Every structure is written in structure tokens, then in C-alpha cells.
Structure 1
Amino acid sequence: MISYETLTQAIARGIITAEQANQIQALTSTDAPPQDDEKLRFITGFGDLFVAIGLVLFLGALGYFLSHWTVAAVGAGLAVACWGLAEFFTRKRRMALPSLLLLVGFVGSILVAVSFGLALLQSDTSPLEWHFAVGGLIAAVAAWGHYRRFKTPISPAAGCGALTGMLVTLVYSAAPDAAPVVIPFLLLIAGIIAFTLALRLDFQDPRRETRRTDIAFWLHLLAAPLIVHPTMFWIGALSSGSNPVLTLGLFCVLALIALAADRRAILVSGLLYAGVAISYLGQTRGLSADTPIALALLLLGALILALSAGWRAIRRTLLALLPAPLRRVLPQVN
């Protein structure tokens, strides 16, 4: 199927007219199978997997030889290697999986190099948490620089994750007693910000044809656990004295959000808690030891299959029930 972006470029260059583009779209969509709006661009071919194996072997061995010096040297050396390799495999070859590995390796190596480098340079007894906080900030800046150079879609999410980690580290260092109370709020706020940014990108790319949708995917993937886990922690979803009905009710809310946003990450993040809640309900009904777990797996599997089969139809019904101002900012059903 010819992408919308390709047709737009063809119109701009005068190759075809807008009317012809519409006719081509109608022709290609007549007998085409349903398209997944949430494509995973991890692998563009077996070559991606082949190069990824080589990167893991090479960088792992390089890290081993650098470890004869200091941890900071390992981080600095790997960061330089990841950037240099990205100049070819990301900037020139545009290979998906290798680009992902090189970005994660680069940002993580910067974090290690800065954090342990500061620990070596400072002669005082400042807490190691402060070193990691500064490392997280520098890693976020490095992720931004990496995106400016290579346009890797995961870079903004990596930068947001580094900033969130920096703030969590600062809270642990500055107020360890208040950390268990403050950090869940902090994670939730970070998740909401990432989720809002992702929705904005989705709104700017309703057909999900450009790089914006890939950036939004990774932001949704980051936002989902940041939103779900603190919320479930507050209601004690995994504790023995939890309220399974409340947990399942919250899971249903997450399912509605996933359907409205047309993103499944937040729903997947809540599956564990829904399974535990179903298991607890089975135990209260006097089922044998293993039966509640099997029941939870059966019901969750059936739910996932049902949503997969009727995702677009369910979304269409849900969007029709939402207020018009909210409906306009959400992805539409194609």
C-alpha cells in the first residue's frame, strides 16, 4: 500500500494530481487487509537483527576491556562507540532495531560516565545520589542532542525517562523519609505530561504516517507504567487486603482511555493488576489453589482477543458517546 506521505510528495512534485492521489488511495484500500494503526517499527528486515547481534557482541566485549580502568571509562568509551556506530547504522542505513539499541546504549553510557566520573573527581563525601541526579540531567540533554542529529523516535522518551529518574533520585537524596509519599505523585505527574505530549503528536498526525507517530508510541510506552503503577499502588492493588472490585473498575477506566486514545500501552500496563484482582475474587469464592490463576488468565486472554477483534468498532461506538470537543482532539477511526 502506498503511504499517505509518498502520495503527498508526489502531488507536491507534480507527478500526480490530488484527484489521482485520491483514486489511488481508494484503489489500494479496496481489497487491502485492515491496517494496524499502532505499528511497531522495531525491525525493517532480518538485517536489523543481524546487525543488532553484532552490536551486542561488540559493545559487550568493548565494555569488558574498558572495565580494566574505571566504570566512568566504560561509560565514556561506550558512549563514543554508540555515537560513532549510529553515524552509519542510524544516520545512513536507518536501521530500526540497531538504532534503538544504540540510542539506549548511548544515553545509559552517558549516565554511567557522568555519575561515576563525578564520584571520582569530587574529594568530598557528597551522596552518590546527587551524582546520579546530575548524570540523569546530562543524559537527558544527550538524548536531545542525539535526536537532533539522528532523529531516532525513541530519543524524546529516553530524555523524559532520564529527567524523571533525575527527579526521583533527588527526592531520595534530599528527603528519604518523604520519598515513599512524594515519588508516586512525581511519577504520576511525569506520566501525565508524557501522555499529553504523545496525544498532541497523535493529533498532529491523524493518519499515523510520519515520524510523529513513532515518537508518540514511545512516549505512550513511557507514560503507561508511570500512570498505572502509582495509581494501583495507592489503592493497594497487589496487597492481600485489596479491593478487587475497585481494581477491576480502575482497569476498565484504563481500557476506555486506551480505546479513546487508540493506544494499547496503558491497557497492557494494567493487565497484571487485573489478573491479581480476578485471582483474589476467585479465592474468595472458595476455588481451589490453582483455579483462580487459571481463571484470571482465561478471562484476560478472552478480553484481549475480544478487544483485538472489535477494536475499531468499539472505538467508533465510544467516540460517538464522547463530547464533541474531546472527540475532535482524539484519533479518529479510519
Structure 2
Amino acid sequence: MHQTVPRPVDILAFPDVQLLDVAGPLQVFATANDLARAAGLPPPYLPRVVAREGTVSASAGLGLVACPLPAADQVCDTLIVAGGWGVHEAARDPQLVEWVRSRSVHARRTASVCTGAFLLAAAGLLDARRAVTHWTRCAELAARFPAVRVEADPIFIRDGDIWTSAGITAGIDLALALVEDDLGRAPALDVARHLVVFLKRPGGQAQFSTALSLQHAGERFGELHAWIAEHLASDLSVSVLADRMGMSERSFVRHYRAQTGMTPARAIERMRLEAARRLLGDTRLSVKRVAARCGFGSEETMRRGFLRALGVPPQTYRDRFTGAGHTPGAHP
């Protein structure tokens, strides 16, 4: 059901903003308006790009004409903070940070796209909340803002009235979720179909990168990760890993989590899942054989891991995403 008064949506931009962080969500709301008008209904949204400068240049080189920052207490339904290379400079601007903090108080909900989470965190809006950002920046976000409960895998996270999303195109997923929350599944699905995207993308960031923020663990655990990748079917208990690092189990777990943003068990599961996805896509090994090679212990354990990380079981993943297929009886 459409409301009669359009919801104001502010998308905050700044110099060196990521273009798709702005354009993706903006187009979702614009398309919702287009489809409403086509159905003879009032447009549900009043979206606009706002910035301190009248024109900001995106990191892609395209100039964006923006509206001036409105008064923090001006009526606003949704505040969306984009990300990009310029977000750290924006987060060092005390006036902009204060505007985001105050604007959020007067908005029904606040969201970030990609590294826009850093600006929300600088404003204190993510303290004690679950949040996500681009997978290459999760460890950095966790290290710089330890009060934030960073999760590396979800495409987007809603924690109360604060929403955060993963990298770049995940802003589209986020905006579609906002539309669904406002208008219901059917209108949101119409928007997704019009844009030729998933309404709810299967899986999380894990489907795009192995172990995600492990790349940010530095040299200290780099060799360990290489060894793990070559021994996925071996005993990878904390005691074994700690012994290889010459550390106590307690110290190992503490330092590992501090540098990677996840537990050793979680990291190993992701590495095993990545290896399993490769085997499902590149070979015709049975699911059972893939599970054994990747160290899951059983087919059911791997199945539960796939459902947690990707939302689909292994065979469905193979059928839907790889096209490899499996001939019954071949390479059991």
C-alpha cells in the first residue's frame, strides 16, 4: 500500500565518493517512483543527493550535482551515507560527522553503503551494533572501532533503525530491502525485476572472496593461511594451529581474532567453503567426495555450512551458479 506523502530520502555524497554507492540506491528509489506513477499511484519516495559542496566529483571522475546539506532537524525518512575513497577524509570533518549524528536522530532510519559505515562509526552510530562493510575493509573497521560488532559476510545488516551494507553494488540490495520494508514484497520485487537484479541475492560476500578480511591479517598469519589452504582435510584444531605459530591457544585465538576480525574456526570454514565451491564448479566430483576433500567430515556438515554462508545447499549451488552439473555415478 502506498502512502500519499512521499518519504524524503537523503543520500550523502562527498568528494571521491564511490559512484555506484550513490547511483545504485538512488535508482532503486527512482524506479519505485516510476512504477508507482505507471500504476496511477503517487510516488512513494522523494530521493535526493546531498553534500556540503554543490558539486562533488566521484572517484570515477563523474561530477555529481548535489543539494546543500539540509538542517539536521529537517524532516527526513531515510538517511543513506555512501562510501568511497573519500570517506576517511569525510570522517575527519567534525562538522560533517556532527551533521550525520544529528541528522540520524531526526531520521526514521539511517543506512550506509560499503565504506560509508566508517562515517557512521565515526559518528558513534554503530557502537554496540552489528554492522558490515566492504569485505576488504571489515578488519579495518573492527580495529578502528572496537565497539562495533563487525560481521564480514552479510550483504546487508539491519540492527534496529540502523542498516549497513557490504561492498558497492550491495547498496542496491540494501535499497531494495528498504523498499520491501516500506511497501511490501510485491512492489520491491517489481523494482528488482525492472532493474534485472535479485530482490534477495543468494549468499553473502563469502561467495566473492575466500576468507574475506584474512588478507588484512598481515605477515604474522599469512604463512599459516597458506598452510591451511593446503591442508584443509587435516586436523585444523586451535591446538594444532597455535602449535604451528608457537603460541598458547588462548594467545593465538586472541591475536588471530584481533587481526582478522573472526575466530580461527570461522576462517577455516570459509576457506573450506571456497575450496568446495571451486570443486563443485570445476569438477564432477560428488558432493560427498567434495566434502571429504575439503575437510568437512561429512556431507551434512558441508551442507549446513553452505546454508549458513550462501543460503543454498551444495547441489543447488552447483546447479544454479556453476553450470557444471553432476552426472550420477561419475567420479563418486
TM-score (norm 2): 0.26
TM-score (norm 1): 0.26
> More strand by proportion, 1 or 2?
2
Higher helix share: 1
Greater gyration radius: 1
- More relative contact order, 1 or 2 (CA 8 Å, 6+ apart): 2
